Structure 1
């Protein structure tokens, strides 16, 4: 089984360091190239996306099974994050990308980021977070894994992401692939059976 993994905004393929060794199959850690060279993948048998990575994967291959970890099909809008939050972040990003990234990562309990290699890509993907377009329906199987204590995603967004087809962990914040890797691996193993 070929599995494509894609991280969220402000991260890289290192977000999978704890979870990847627990997964079966041929893994391709895609990378948006925020901090180094981008890595893409061909069509997989299963997609696993963290945060924005889940949205990007769902829109790229709507007919491939998807595991969305701390993920969403749209970030802003009704029952989601207020668009002004991302607009304010984007304005600040234009003035000081490193500061915005550092503040974001600190707010979700992440380690400091490496040096930014592509502020343009980070900025483009930040704009994607502001997109309020309703997500196209995902035509394949879905598993949504969320954390009750996620500081980034409002409760209503966690409940309704991808139609609410998911499981909730009490703790782990917005970094479940790192903080709850075994829980995620068990849920994924059940999903792929």
Structure 2
């Protein structure tokens, strides 16, 4: 029997590793490993598994590009980006002043900022009672300045991007620009929470992508 392929799941800002459970439980034929940033009750856990298929949501994909060792077997970017803020050569990014304002407000009221972000992402009733504001704040500052486009270009593995057409955090135009050079599959009417709202679809896309890898 051949060894199972490994998927390493990386969640985004404001969530924890349980975010991926609806998708992961649909992929029992894979070995499944989870990064956790320690934003909530779970302690930080940054496993490094060279040769895995890296599946990153939102900021988690950019973080993986910056931190997970190569080689990767493949990469699946879900509601994701290698750079978040706008620049002259990335015009679809979020205006830097908006992110700077979010960082500034976070130092004053982390619960309110996190709640607002989660609602805009698509969480109907956010629970922020268990957030670790220091860890979230550090990640937010990293997000404001990250640019992993060169790292993505240097990946020596196939990449698949999945996005929603009604994502208010990562709009369709941003996804199209960020992933102009790789396959991008759009879920019509979906928001920023594809792994939660469309777990069967995301799992199917991962399975099909894996089947095409050597």
CA distance, structure 2, for counterparts of residue 114 and residue 17 of structure 1: 19
Stretches of structure 1 that go unaligned for 5 or more consecutive residues are none
1:1-26 deviations in Å (ceiling 9; x for gaps): 12110100011112112111112311
SS at match of 2:157: coil
**Larger Rg belongs to:** 2
The residue number in structure 2 matching 1:191 is 209
Task: Please give the TM-score of this superposition, normalised by the length of structure 1.
Answer: 0.93
Q: Quote the RMSD (CA, aligned, Å).
A: 1.6
Q: Any runs of at least 4 consecutive aligned residues in structure 1 with deviations exceeding 4 A, and if so which? A: none
Aligned with residue 195 of structure 2, among 142, 160, 177:
177
CA distance, structure 1, for counterparts of residue 66 and residue 183 of structure 2: 17
Contact 2:55 2:77 (C-alpha < 8 Å) held by counterparts: yes
Contact 1:11 1:34 (C-alpha < 8 Å) held by counterparts: yes
Whether 2:55 is the aligned partner of 1:48: answer yes
1:111-140 deviations in Å (ceiling 9; x for gaps): 413424421210111112211535222332
Stretches of structure 2 that go unaligned for 5 or more consecutive residues are none
CA distance, structure 1, for counterparts of residue 190 and residue 110 of structure 2: 26
Q: How many residues align?
A: 193
Task: Please give the TM-score of this superposition, normalised by the length of structure 2.
Answer: 0.84
Which range moved further: 16-25 or 142-151? 16-25
Aligned with residue 20 of structure 1, among 14, 20, 24:
24
Which range moved further: 179-188 or 162-171? 162-171
